[in-house]
Structure 1
């Protein structure tokens, strides 16, 4: 392999490793979350880098004599793009050992970051074969130095994947701006990813200089099989398990303007083993094999009993019809997921910051702390647009609660406007910013502002916990 290519690969691997390490350090994992079922962030990082770079290492061993730099670079980028795409299948957020081990935010951010890196590599891959004449196997080319073949079938799968991959990434980035249901997008995303993986497997094996080697063909086949297996696990094995653990709706209560509390109870089993602040994928009224399920934070406390409650706001898709759900409807839960939990933490106080329906997981934590008589000090900032959107005030009767309204009534005596740095300065002392645990959930704009403010104020990043369900 060309020396320049080796240096480039080494620098890229080091840079990627550092970036992923920074991502995984953003959330400190409580000791309880690092039990045998949860893998440590550093181990996950090493496994990820190993899986992504393994095909590149194997190709170096079996690929024959090196070619000119640009051709080696083109092949290397193509190999890395394919391996990243295959590993992306397990970064979907549906594997507890990953998402609960490093946090859903980190899992999804890495998923997004690496998908975009794979896209850049894939787009550059065919453009770097400068000066490479096309043509199939020739007697004077026994080592397949001519990577690009005239075989239309081998080329067409790569060309189709070249077109589909940008579409898949762009549709994911612009999902919230597009007018189609979440379930539709999810189905399209899964089928599109599966199709791209199959196309790239064929293209790599039949059109690639390295992929045609028996060792590489075997490796690509195994990695693709594992990726497809992850989909089978999520969409077949897990639903089969859920069939044996059904739930049923026992109450649907309007809490506030366009906000509902939905409570489900286990039917024929002990219920859900979860920590306050976690979330599940909720499926109501459909088969467990249906893609019509959505992530919702749990607003109930584990110590309150087997029933599980959710606060759901009418935003679209399933949530618009939550008020029409009939008592007794069959439901299925997949989870728990997430690391927005305070169990095992040793900070002297906990600061909760919620925007709108983001109060749901924080409410679950507050309820659990009350039931367990947790002695830690608590402060809560809870922002909404109007006063009628404030929910569960009786449960939020804490020592220090700050309500914020952007459109307050004339007799409002609380804070007015948005949750901003000036408000945070008034509520939290310098010592609290440095020593307390900050837990937040709400609109992305709010969380970005608060996170940036806290870091600049000296709050260690491992004392800032946040959870998002929308990603750019």
Structure 2
């Protein structure tokens, strides 16, 4: 796998406690929407292949853009502390791309994405790319968070949904009693009834699930209860985010 050296060009908070890190894209770096990289933050006395120096992240930007963006919750771990301490212009390394959570090629079949929390990142790349290309393929994103404050990239997703009839956003919050923001959308867990209501007009949808392991496992059970064939479900678990 190829290793590239990249520079940190910007950072911004995309949700409460969640930060997006922007890096320049190396010449010749080609990836598919939905793929990931390993980010290596060199540290004195720490091996580059250790969990303190290396972490896997989905790429949140699309291939047509001249930057690579990853996003993560800033938890108190050795890696996150090193990542958060980077100054603009600092050099790090990336390896990749890799991963198979990419959109199917049969555009007659709809795509339904189910994301929990920071599991949104691979779908940001896929939807961003579809919007840029003006793809007519029906894409629906079910995005679940505890509160609006926790929902990374929510405003951007809402804008894409308003402007692109082929893309539908179904956002739901599960702990609005802990939120200080107004929310006029759904406020319930993702269950079989919700899934059935979302897909009732879609043509032979294929499902993609991304989020923490417990959420991904729960969604597999929910989709099975909703009558979805397991062969039509693809998933990716986000550990340690």
Distance 2:155 2:192 in 1: 27
Q: Which residue of 2 aligns with 1:228?
A: none
Secondary structure of 1:400's partner?
strand
Deviations 1:139-181 (A, max 9, x none): xxxxxxxxxxxxxxxxxxxxxxxxxxxxxxxxxxxxxxxxxxx
Match of residue 463, structure 1, among 211, 232, 237: 232
Q: Is 2:35 aligned against 1:278?
A: yes
Secondary structure of 2:154's partner?
coil
- Normalising to structure 1: TM-score of the pair? 0.44
Whose radius of gyration is greater, 1 or 2?
1
Q: Which residue of 1 aligns with 2:92?
A: 331
Residues 285 and 329, structure 1, Cα contact 8 Å, conserved in 2 = no
Distance 1:390 1:330 in 2: 29
* Post-superposition offset of 1:247: 0.8
| 5+ long unaligned stretches in structure 1 | 1-237
Kindly report the root-mean-square deviation, in angstroms, between the aligned alpha carbons of the 2 structures: 2.5
Distance 2:147 2:83 in 1: 21
Q: Is 2:221 aligned against 1:452?
A: yes
Match of residue 312, structure 1, among 60, 63, 72: 72
Higher relative contact order (CA 8 A, sep 6+): 2
Match of residue 187, structure 2, among 400, 403, 416: 416
Secondary structure of 2:64's partner?
helix
* Post-superposition offset of 1:272: 1.9
Alignment of 1:81-230 (within 5 A): none
Q: Is 2:108 aligned against 1:350?
A: no
Distance 1:248 1:289 in 2: 20
The change in CA–CA distance for 1:296 and 1:421 in structure 2 (over 3 A counts) is: same
* Post-superposition offset of 1:295: 0.5
The change in CA–CA distance for 1:390 and 1:470 in structure 2 (over 3 A counts) is: closer
Q: Is 2:194 aligned against 1:435?
A: no
Residues 286 and 331, structure 1, Cα contact 8 Å, conserved in 2 = no
Which structure dedicates a bigger proportion of its chain to helix? Answer: 1
The change in CA–CA distance for 1:403 and 1:251 in structure 2 (over 3 A counts) is: same
Residues 421 and 450, structure 1, Cα contact 8 Å, conserved in 2 = no
Q: Which residue of 2 aligns with 1:252?
A: 11
Distance 1:294 1:324 in 2: 16
Residues 260 and 322, structure 1, Cα contact 8 Å, conserved in 2 = no
Residues 358 and 441, structure 1, Cα contact 8 Å, conserved in 2 = yes
Q: Is 2:199 aligned against 1:407?
A: no
* Post-superposition offset of 1:264: 0.9
Distance 1:326 1:411 in 2: 35
Secondary structure of 2:156's partner?
coil
Residues 15 and 153, structure 2, Cα contact 8 Å, conserved in 1 = no
Number of residue-to-residue matches in the alignment: 225
